[in-house]
Structure 1
Amino acid sequence: MRLLWRVFWLNALVAMVATILLMIGPWTVSAPIRFTEAVILVAGMGSLLAANAVLLRWGLAPLDRLTQVMTTIDLLRPGQRLEATGSAEMTALISTFNQMLDRLEVERGTSSARALSAQEDERRRIAQELHDEIGQRLTAVLLDLKRLTDQAPEPMRADMRQVQEITRGSLDEVRTIVHRLRPGVLEDLGLLSALTALTNQFDTHTGLKVRRELGADLPELSTQSELVIYRIAQESLTNAARHAGATAADLELVPGHGGVTLHVRDNGTGITGLREGAGIRGMRERALLIGAQLTITSRPGQGTRVSLHVPVPTERGIP
């Protein structure tokens, strides 16, 4: 039973007992009790209960709001706070809860920054090992196969060439994985070139045709912000190609509103489930890391739109 009704029924019990005692006792009413006196007592008890219920509902309303926020709060959507209203005890409780949210958001941002930094370092390490070990060995195998094919008898050359093509395809796949893990173009040539290479990669290796529009006069962004924009664009296009069954997508990166805004739209099936997957939550964590605002809108059968606004001024001082 909710606290409101527990307090209400306790007060109601007290009021009913008091009324019964007045009705059967000779102290304030006639004995035997008159009909008019009983009506007055019952009306008084009803008025007392109604007033009691109204006052309790008004006094405990902040607690109901606090309970609702506590059950629906999401630290990946910062800024959700309650107005401290009500009695002194209730105001203190809500203020303490808001302060706890402040601390949790700061700690979540710090832990997310460390986790994402470790994730990027691990991706670089794996990409480097794939490039240096697997890639070089496959290249050596490909060269040996070419030499052996030239020396092999004519009946065996067709089979040797087929093995060459399989090896060459494996080498291309390793290079594609290395590029996804570690966007070297982003580090060497910048965000615009990296997004161009990303869209060309989806055009070449998937059935997703990406139309891009990249602004020329973008404000200067930090390395962390460029990496977040790239990863969110990569995740959005990957979701569109693998999970949404989209055949076309638009990618835009335009300046405005004190920063830059990334838009990724597709014509896929949209998000049908109520629960967000790990990919979307990962995008929210990355956006939270740089103080950006991420908005995802989707309707079943009408595609998905991902918008990321990165405010440039707030990124100063972010490690």
Structure 2
Amino acid sequence: MTLFWRIFLLNAAVLTVAAALLLLGPVTVSTPVVLAEALILSAGLAVMLIANAALLRLGLSPLQRLARTMATLDLLRPGPRPAAVGHGEIADLITTFNSMLDRLEAERATSNARALSAQEAERRRIAQELHDEVGQTLTAVLLELKRVADQAPAAVRTELRQVQETTRSSLDEIRRIARRLRPGVLDELGLVSALRSLINELPTHGGLTARRQLQTDLPDLGKDVELVLYRVAQESLTNTIRHARATRVELSLRRVSTGVELRIRDDGQGLQGAPEGAGIRGMRERALLIGAELHLDPGPGGGTDVRLVTPFGNTEEAENTRNGSD
């Protein structure tokens, strides 16, 4: 039965009952209208309107639930689909909406996979150019500075040594940037070694103390999953350094009952209700690509608790998503 006929029949039923009560009941209408008759008719009209409103609210309540779902929907935080309750067109509308959500999430996952794949390729290219072009040029400059300093008079030798140290610091910084853009240790030695290197590179001059707990007997997660775990850890630690004003940060990687859990906790000032920026939304998009769950919660003693749980069986799914994006 269509929505039109349901509303029409509900109203027809209410009006039929009201007409039957007027015909069969003892109520009559005089001319002029007596006060008692007006009160009875007003009460009957009120009851009819209340019954009509209750029946319509009951019949249209699935649409209200669907409207609330539409208003609060976030594709980066997929939740349960609204149940296809109701009859006729209402159930068809909810079913169509759920199908639309499935298509939107699939298309978003495909487009995100393409974008992130292109981003990683661009990072790899830039890191390679920094290492091969800029790095080699600065190395040649260092060697030339050393040769000139060795032959220079004592008056300018000290200044040349200072220029040499500045150049060496710039070379180290470029190498550090190249490693952050595309960590070679992740491809060569695996996720645990890459996370250990990431923790070791954290600056300590601001009073930040870093701890790590990394299990080594983890299952084979695949390159895509390991890259997502590394990028989430990298973004979380970057946010801690830049915004948290923390004195302590802990990074852990361990096997749990549902999969592998990556956790980063700090004692900083926390999220404080601030809107999510591009970094956090990027973390959520990466987590969706591998079917993982990302949680950002306040820490038990303050600060921020970032937890990413990736199931064991998502390696094939991530690989299929990446292949589909190609």
TM-score, length basis structure 2: 0.87
Partner secondary structure for residue 244 of structure 2: coil
Query: What is residue 91 of structure 1 aligned with on the other side?
Result: 91
Counterpart AA for 1:154: A
CA contact (8 A) 1:236 1:264 kept: yes
Query: What is residue 297 of structure 2 aligned with on the other side?
Result: 297
Write the deviation string for residues 144-189 of structure 1: whole angstroms up to 9, x where unpaired. 1111111010111111111011101100110010010011000000
Query: What is residue 234 of structure 1 aligned with on the other side?
Result: 234
Q: For structure 1, which segment, 298-307 or 184-193, has the greater mean C-alpha deviation from structure 2 after superposition?
A: 298-307
TM-score, length basis structure 1: 0.88
Query: What is residue 4 of structure 2 aligned with on the other side?
Result: none
Count, aligned residues: 300
CA contact (8 A) 1:272 1:299 kept: no
Query: What is residue 225 of structure 1 aligned with on the other side?
Result: 225
Query: What is residue 44 of structure 2 aligned with on the other side?
Result: 44
Quote the Cα distance in structure 2 between the aligned partners of 1:212 and 1:299: 17
Identity of aligned residues (%): 60
Residue 302 of structure 1 and its aligned partner are, at CA, apart by 1.8
Runs of at least 5 residues in structure 2 that lack an aligned partner in the other structure: 1-6, 320-326
Counterpart AA for 1:211: R
Matches of residues 1-319 of structure 1 in structure 2 within 5 Å? 29-203=29-203, 207-298=207-298, 302-319=302-319
CA contact (8 A) 2:76 2:288 kept: yes
Runs of at least 5 residues in structure 1 that lack an aligned partner in the other structure: 1-6
Q: For structure 1, which segment, 48-57 or 92-101, has the greater mean C-alpha deviation from structure 2 after superposition?
A: 48-57
Q: For structure 1, which segment, 300-309 or 147-156, has the greater mean C-alpha deviation from structure 2 after superposition?
A: 300-309
Quote the Cα distance in structure 2 between the aligned partners of 1:77 and 1:59: 30
Runs (4 or more) in structure 1 with deviation over 6 Å come to none
Residue 314 of structure 1 and its aligned partner are, at CA, apart by 2.9
CA RMSD of aligned residues (A): 2.3
Quote the Cα distance in structure 2 between the aligned partners of 1:167 and 1:38: 98
Quote the Cα distance in structure 2 between the aligned partners of 1:62 and 1:275: 31
Residue 128 of structure 1 and its aligned partner are, at CA, apart by 0.3
Quote the Cα distance in structure 2 between the aligned partners of 1:114 and 1:299: 34
Partner secondary structure for residue 84 of structure 1: coil
Counterpart AA for 2:51: A
Residue 274 of structure 1 and its aligned partner are, at CA, apart by 3.7
Residue 205 of structure 1 and its aligned partner are, at CA, apart by 7.4
Quote the Cα distance in structure 1 between the aligned partners of 2:295 and 2:189: 28
Query: What is residue 3 of structure 2 aligned with on the other side?
Result: none
Residue 108 of structure 1 and its aligned partner are, at CA, apart by 0.8
Q: For structure 1, which segment, 247-256 or 51-60, has the greater mean C-alpha deviation from structure 2 after superposition?
A: 51-60
Residue 270 of structure 1 and its aligned partner are, at CA, apart by 0.8
Write the deviation string for residues 211-254 of structure 1: whole angstroms up to 9, x where unpaired. 00011321111110000000000000000001111121000001
Residue 300 of structure 1 and its aligned partner are, at CA, apart by 12
Partner secondary structure for residue 307 of structure 1: strand
Residue 53 of structure 1 and its aligned partner are, at CA, apart by 1.6
CA contact (8 A) 2:247 2:267 kept: yes
